[in-house]
Chains A and B, each alone.
Chain A
Amino acid sequence: MAPTLLLAALLAAPATPATPLVSNGPTGSDSVTVSVAVPPVLGLAKSARRQRIGYLPRHVVLQTGGGVGMLSVGGGLSFAHRRLDLDALVGYVPARHAGTALTIASVKVKYAPWELPLGSSRLAFTPLAVGVYGSYTFGLRNTGEEGQYPDDYYWWSRTTRVGPVLGSSLSYALPDAPSGRARRLTGYYELATNDLYAISYYLNRRALSLPDITTLALGLKLEF
């Protein structure tokens, strides 16, 4: 229910107007420009291309799980024809689930080489996305005070986690924004683990299985 409401809120949010096209034409009425009519045209073409490169599909995300929050919200940009996503999220875990209330800041890079349009529908399936994430947790109770432990007493970070992610997604094309930007709603899942789980698995491949160290994230991404 809560995710549905949040999604509705996200959809209702006004789309940010696209960056206005920067005029590259002559600014004055100087007639000298007439004698160099060709270069400005080239300049315009170059500028248009720069505009297109500068047009970065951007999105907001809403996620649960994946070790980075009971509920995480964030935003990101897509690069390389939407194959590469860079996301930043802030997640929250209430005290009843973790002992203290946690705030988790995370960044994630995901690469999805294929996107398969599903017939003539507005749906598209991304079968595989791979990536890495890093997170920093605020609010843990015992991370060590100054002088509490001798050096290297615990060799690992209690606050920073890194790990691989792997997932799929299904996108639905929404009507374009008034600015002409393509809008899309994507539902995704991600399987992930973290450095500490991975070490535990690596050292105990008989007793531990990959499902033992796997976490699941479910999320929504709105490109606008």
Chain B
Amino acid sequence: MYQPTSMFSFFSSSFLRNALIGALATGLSACELVEFSPNDHRARADQKDLTAKNLARLTAAPLPPGDTLRFVFSGDSQRFYDDAQDLVRSVNQQPGIQFMLVSGDISDFGLGREMRWIDNELRKLKVPYLTVIGNHDHVANGREAYQEIFGPLNYSFVYADTKFVLIDTNSREYNFNGRVPDVPWLRGQLADLNGASRSVVISHVPPHDGDFDPTLRDAYAGTLRETPSLVFEMNGHRHDYGVGQPFNDGVTYVNSYAFEKRKYLVVTVFGDKQFRLKQVSF
């Protein structure tokens, strides 16, 4: 007599608990499913502030003394999700890399869901990844989506005696308002390396591109020229690999492959400011 009652109450309470957990889980996923607009940038808590989260992971794993700074450089993931899957598989087999840099255009249409789709793939990397905003990420309300999902448009971090400065150079998206890129901010970042001895600048649109504010080109390139610690400036936007000194001023510019090119670069930085670029196909 007693037993069945207790069995029943056990079942009913566990059923109730499961139903509650189920409803909660459904509620959480339904939150994103019930999309208010494609420009709606709400995201799960673990897909917000990804820059800060990835930086925390990177900081937690400092480069052991004697090891070489090595990272993967790619860009323009845009709507190449199948390629992103394969890139992750390949990068995860690279020995001795510490992080991956994506040089902007995370999304194609500037939509939050696209940024989360890319993160769905890149979060499977064994190493943290860091991004800079690209022109496509500015489309419609993409800038706000990028800020919500990734983080600041201009930021910097120090890793392995190197200061990495990531800056928004998508001038055309601001209709060439004369304030983007923020050259005074860049100058300040490069004037104080926070104890590092080398510097690297990463942006999406290269200064020698038509989408870069022509009124700021000289000031920007000049700032880099006057930075003796600068290893190189790294860009995306052009979807193809390139390395050169377009201003013939001793400053090297490296352009990344887009995900669709199914290639990426493994960058090794050593010594004073020497570097090696290795192209990897996947």
Contact = CB atoms under 8 A, between A and B. Distances in A.
A205 B83 CA distance: 11
Interface of A: 64-70, 91, 93, 97-100, 102, 104, 137, 140-143, 145, 148-149, 154, 156, 158, 161, 194, 196-197, 199-200, 203-208, 212, 214-218
Given A67-B35, A67-B36, A145-B175, A99 B82 contact: no
A102 to B, nearest CB: 6
Given A99-B144, A148-B175, A140 B39 contact: yes
Interface in B128-147: 138-145
Contacts of B40: 67, 70, 93, 97-98
B121 A102 contact: no
Interface residues of B, number: 37
Interface stretch (B45-53, B94-102, B108-116, B235-243): B108-116
B37 A68 contact: yes
Nearest to A212: B117
Given A100-B144, A141-B144, A142-B141, A216 B37 contact: no
Interface in B149-177: 172-173, 175
B108 A204 contact: no
A48 to B, nearest CB: 45
Contacts of A93: 36-37, 39-40
Nearest to A163: B38
A208 to B, nearest CB: 6
Given A99-B41, A196-B111, A208-B117, A140 B36 contact: no
A206 to B, nearest CB: 5
B101 to A, nearest CB: 21
A204 B39 contact: no
B7 interface: no
Contact of A98 (B30, B34, B41, B109): B41
B270 interface: no
A200 B117 contact: yes
Interface of B: 30, 33-42, 79-82, 84-85, 108-111, 113-114, 117, 120-121, 138-145, 172-173, 175
Contacts of B84: 207
Contacts of A206: 81-82, 85
Contacts of A214: 33
A156 B40 CA distance: 18
Contact of B34 (A64, A196, A199, A212): A64
Contacts of B139: 142, 154, 158
A99 B37 CA distance: 11
Given A98-B141, A216-B30, A200 B37 contact: no
B144 A216 contact: no
Given A98-B41, A149-B172, A207-B84, A199 B79 contact: yes
Contacts of B30: 216
A140 B139 CA distance: 9
Nearest to B174: A142
A97 B41 contact: yes
Nearest to A189: B34
Nearest to B148: A99
15 contacts: A64-B34, A97-B36, A97-B40, A98-B144, A99-B39, A99-B41, A99-B143, A99-B145, A141-B140, A142-B110, A154-B139, A158-B109, A207-B81, A207-B121, A216-B30
